[in-house]
């Protein structure tokens, strides 16, 4: 498949020249007279290479280049600038827009084709595709006359690039040169010598001031500078060029007389590239002019590359800043969204452990339901803002305690809270139950500490919370629609926790039978009369939580001694101390007797107790 090349230039002569250059190659050439036409052709034909002029009517090359880079399908199309604009500023402008190469007019055809060959694959047309050559008149006349031997044209882009890899002097000789000398004779002599060497873009200035005016108006690749001139001499010109950042890269060759060598040395120290003594040698002039121009082009290329590197660096830094800003936005957003989720759920989602889809599972959980007794009556005399502050303060205090003990906060229902243990993180059913009971005790304790603070806020009666705790299988997971989900639990155990809460006294905690069995060694409970609750066919056994054994021992309410094979628990609120002492003395008496007599004594004690009961 042949390559597509788009030529965009307002000069018909340039377009015709390019058509002639590409005729030997298997490619399809499209033309446009300005940027607007070129953009339309590029969108329609999708060229493999665009050769673009800088200054054009309707739409110039830079504007077209910008629109190409904004087009997702054309932004990667290589572009070679072919233009008479050769200033470093213009080169830098298009370099920032990512042009592949830059060729100045007039140009070397070989070097131009070599640059094209580096951008796309150029292959010579098959012989039968080439246009028929006109018959050679000499051949028609002489028949057998020998034609002069000619070198075969390159048949591929590789051969073309190899044949053009050495630097050609032609584009250097066509560089823009400024001759500055107060002697008209010397100016004519230098201009004639430069013309003979192939330089045809030459301008003259008869003093330093005119020279500075010219270099500020248009770019030059080389200045040939006399030292002794009226108005402004060569040294003053050099200092002015050195102090102007835009002109500091212009190479200057000082043309000095043989008796001005010391001044020439000072000029070189002031920034001149080289010097030639008068009368000058044309061979030396060519060598030094070519060397100076080549150095300038290399410096310009380095400057363009530095601009490109700086541009890429700026783009990278800008992209990094954008990524950092977006990450910060995401962090802020995720932090805000986390307020609507229990921390365990939030963390499991962000760690990838929890899928955000409608799904559920059966799991054994311990559920706690809390509610403030008589909340409406207690807060009836509060204004709306005061009520909001008090309620939020209460929920905040309870949430802190819940999270400290590892609870998953399911939801807030007014002044009520639904919490559960065992998902998404679990320490085992028994440990989850113990953590839940310890959380409930901590909440009740904190409520008593907050009584005085709430009295100061205007609450005539302190808050009292009722709490119901149960353990059993529930369905836990994401419920809702694809667009709005709620991570929650459902099942009879949830209803049972709410019923236990409503059946207990304010300031109390009521456990179900299974929860009580799981925490039996941790807390003391009192069995309550069975209660009949809605939704359950049989009466439910409830156990009122008295406190942890450790707290009760410290308070002097119970005596607890535990050893391997020994468990002594005395509730001093339910037993007379003298009865306790008597029982313990009987135990000691039995322990002091031999094993057989211990059994007889134990039997006698049981018979005596039975007789007392019958009486």
Average pLDDT estimate for 34-49: 93
Tell me which of 189 and 556 has the higher pLDDT: 189
- DSSP-derived letter for residue 562 is E
Average pLDDT estimate for 487-493: 89
Phi, psi dihedral angles at 425 (to 5 degrees): -115, 140
Beta bridge partners of 277: 256
- Is pLDDT above 80 for 501? yes
Average pLDDT estimate for 363-391: 84
Inter-residue contact 190 to 182 (CB < 8 Å): no
pLDDT at site 504: 92
Token reading at 141 = 């006349």
Q: Which of 278-282, 378-382, 491-495 bottoms out in mean pLDDT, i.e. has the lowest?
A: 378-382
pLDDT at site 145: 36
Beta carbons within 8 Å of 260's beta carbon, 6+ residues apart: 227, 228
Per-residue pLDDT of 331-376, as tens digits, reads 777 776 666 666 766 666 666 666 667 778 899 999 999 999 888 7
Per-residue pLDDT of 457-486, as tens digits, reads 667 777 889 999 999 999 988 887 777 778
pLDDT at site 595: 65
Tell me which of 55 and 283 has the higher pLDDT: 55
DSSP element (H, E) containing 614: helix 595-614
Q: How confident is the model at residue 102 (pLDDT cuts 50, 70, 90)?
A: confident
Per-residue pLDDT of 517-572, as tens digits, reads 999 889 999 999 998 888 888 899 999 999 998 888 888 787 877 777 777 777 77
pLDDT at site 140: 41
Q: Rounded to whole angstroms, what are the CA distances from 291 to 94, 273, 369, 615?
A: 26, 10, 91, 134
- Is pLDDT above 90 for 30? yes
Mean pLDDT of all residues belonging to the chain? 80
- Is pLDDT above 60 for 142? no
pLDDT at site 166: 35
Return the domain boundaries, the chain.
3-129+155-163, 170-302, 355-559, 575-615
- Asked if CATH classification 3.40.50.2300 holds for the domain at 170-302, the reply, yes or no, is yes
Inter-residue contact 61 to 55 (CB < 8 Å): yes
Q: Which of 142-156, 194-208, 390-404 bottoms out in mean pLDDT, i.e. has the lowest?
A: 142-156
Whole-angstrom Cα distance, residue 416 to residue 412?
A: 6
SS3 (DSSP) at 510: strand
- Is pLDDT above 70 for 605? no
pLDDT at site 525: 92
Average pLDDT estimate for 104-127: 79
pLDDT at site 156: 41
- Is pLDDT above 80 for 378? no
Token reading at 373 = 């007794």
Whole-angstrom Cα distance, residue 85 to residue 62?
A: 12
User: Residues, the chain, total?
Assistant: 615
Examine domains 3-129+155-163 and 170-302 and report if their fold is the same: yes
Token reading at 538 = 């049989």
Token reading at 407 = 């609870």
Whole-angstrom Cα distance, residue 369 to residue 499?
A: 9
pTM: 0.47
- Is pLDDT above 90 for 268? no
Architecture of domain 355-559: 2-Layer Sandwich (3.30)
DSSP element (H, E) containing 370: strand 359-372
Burial of 596 (0-12, 13-18, 19+ CB in 10 A): exposed
Token reading at 91 = 């080169």
DSSP string, 416-468: EEEEEESSSS-S-HHHHHHHHHHHHHHHHHHHHHTHHHHHHTT-SS---EEEE
- Asked if CATH classification 3.40.50.720 holds for the domain at 3-129+155-163, the reply, yes or no, is no
Question: Nearest to residue 222, comparing CAs of 193, 206, 199, 244?
Answer: 199
- Is pLDDT above 50 for 192? yes
């Amino acid at each position: 498949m042949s390559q597509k090349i788009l030529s965009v230039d307002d000069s018909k002569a340039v377009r015709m020249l390019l058509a002639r250059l590409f005729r030997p190659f298997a490619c399809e050439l499209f033309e446009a007279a300005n940027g607007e036409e070129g953009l339309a052709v590029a969108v329609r034909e999708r060229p493999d290479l665009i050769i673009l002029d800088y200054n054009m009517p309707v739409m110039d090359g830079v504007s077209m280049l910008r629109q190409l880079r904004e087009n997702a399908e054309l932004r990667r199309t290589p572009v070679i600038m072919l233009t008479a604009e050769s200033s470093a500023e213009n080169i830098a402008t298009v370099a920032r827009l990512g042009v592949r190469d830059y060729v100045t007019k007039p140009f070397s055809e070989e070097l131009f084709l070599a640059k094209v060959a580096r951008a796309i694959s150029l292959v010579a047309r098959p012989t039968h595709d080439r246009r028929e050559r006109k018959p050679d008149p000499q051949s028609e006349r002489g028949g057998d006359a020998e034609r002069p031997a000619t070198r075969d044209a390159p048949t591929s882009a590789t051969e073309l690039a190899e044949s053009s890899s050495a630097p050609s002097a032609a584009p250097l000789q066509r560089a823009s040169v400024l001759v500055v000398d107060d002697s008209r004779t010397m100016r004519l002599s230098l201009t004639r010598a430069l013309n003979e060497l192939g330089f045809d873009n030459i301008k003259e200035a008869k003093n330093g001031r005119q020279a500075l005016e010219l270099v500020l108006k248009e770019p030059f690749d080389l200045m040939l500078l006399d030292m002794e001139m009226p108005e402004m001499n060569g040294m003053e010109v050099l200092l002015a060029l050195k102090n102007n950042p835009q002109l500091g890269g212009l190479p200057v060759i000082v043309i000095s007389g043989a008796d001005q060598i010391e001044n020439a040395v000072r000029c070189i120290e002031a920034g001149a590239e080289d010097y030639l003594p008068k009368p000058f040698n044309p061979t030396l002039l060519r060598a030094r002019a070519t060397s100076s121009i080549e150095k300038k082009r290399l410096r310009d290329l380095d400057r363009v590359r530095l601009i490109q590197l700086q541009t890429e660096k700026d783009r990278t830094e800008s992209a990094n800043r954008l990524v950092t800003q977006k990450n910060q936005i995401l962090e802020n957003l995720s932090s805000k969204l986390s307020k609507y989720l229990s921390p365990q759920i939030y963390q499991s989602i962000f760690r990838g452990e929890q899928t955000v889809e409608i799904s559920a599972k059966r799991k054994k959980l311990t559920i706690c339901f809390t509610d403030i007794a008589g909340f409406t009556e207690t807060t009836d005399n509060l204004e709306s803002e005061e009520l909001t502050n008090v309620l939020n303060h209460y929920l905040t205090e309870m949430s802190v305690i819940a999270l400290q003990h590892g609870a998953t906060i399911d939801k807030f229902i007014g002044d009520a809270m639904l919490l559960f243990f065992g998902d998404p993180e679990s320490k085992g059913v028994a440990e989850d139950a113990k953590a839940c009971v310890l959380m409930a005790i901590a909440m009740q304790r904190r409520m008593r500490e907050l009584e005085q603070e709430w009295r100061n806020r205007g609450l005539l009666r302190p808050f009292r919370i009722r709490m119901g705790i149960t353990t059993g299988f529930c369905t836990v997971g994401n419920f809702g629609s694809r667009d709005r989900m709620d991570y929650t639990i459902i099942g009879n155990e949830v209803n049972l926790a709410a019923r236990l809460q409503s059946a207990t006294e304010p300031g109390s905690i009521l456990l179900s039978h299974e929860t009580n069995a799981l925490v039996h060694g941790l807390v003391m409970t009192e069995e309550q009369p069975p209660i009949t609750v809605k939704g359950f066919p049989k009466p439910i056994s409830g156990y009122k939580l008295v406190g942890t054994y450790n707290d009760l021992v410290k308070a002097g309410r119970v005596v607890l001694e535990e050893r391997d094979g020994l468990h002594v628990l005395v509730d001093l609120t339910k037993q007379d101390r003298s009865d306790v002492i008597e029982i313990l003395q009987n135990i000691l008496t039995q322990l002091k007797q031999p094993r057989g007599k211990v059994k007889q004594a134990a039997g006698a004690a049981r018979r005596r107790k039975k007789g007392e009961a019958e009486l």
